[in-house]
Amino acid sequence: MAKTNYKSAFEKLQQIYDDLKEGNIEIDDLDIKLKKALEYIKICKETIQKQEVKIKDILKEIEKAE
């Protein structure tokens, strides 16, 4: 899978969720869609964790500057 950014992964995850909620996924495709959803969840989680580290580092720098 090509590198997917947070926004794209979140939108695709939202679409899978909406399709599940509305019953638009055939039972034969359910496992494929859920595996894709898991990939998108991992991308989102990793991005959030990386941003959290960056933000903490920036906040530390701000505290040092005060």
pLDDT digits (tens, 9 = 90+) for 20-62: 999 999 999 999 999 999 999 999 999 999 999 999 999 999 9
Q: What is the pLDDT of residue 2?
A: 59
Q: What is the pLDDT of residue 43?
A: 97
Band (pLDDT 50/70/90 cuts) for residue 1 is very low
List of long-range contacts for 18-24, beta carbons under 8 Å, 24+ apart: none
Torsion sign across C-alpha atoms 8, 41, 2, 31: negative
Within 8 A by CB and 6+ apart from 33, the residues are 16, 19, 20, 25
For 7, the token pair is 């926004």
Q: What is the pLDDT of residue 4?
A: 86
For 42, the token pair is 């991992």
Q: What is the pLDDT of residue 3?
A: 78
Whole-prediction pTM: 0.83
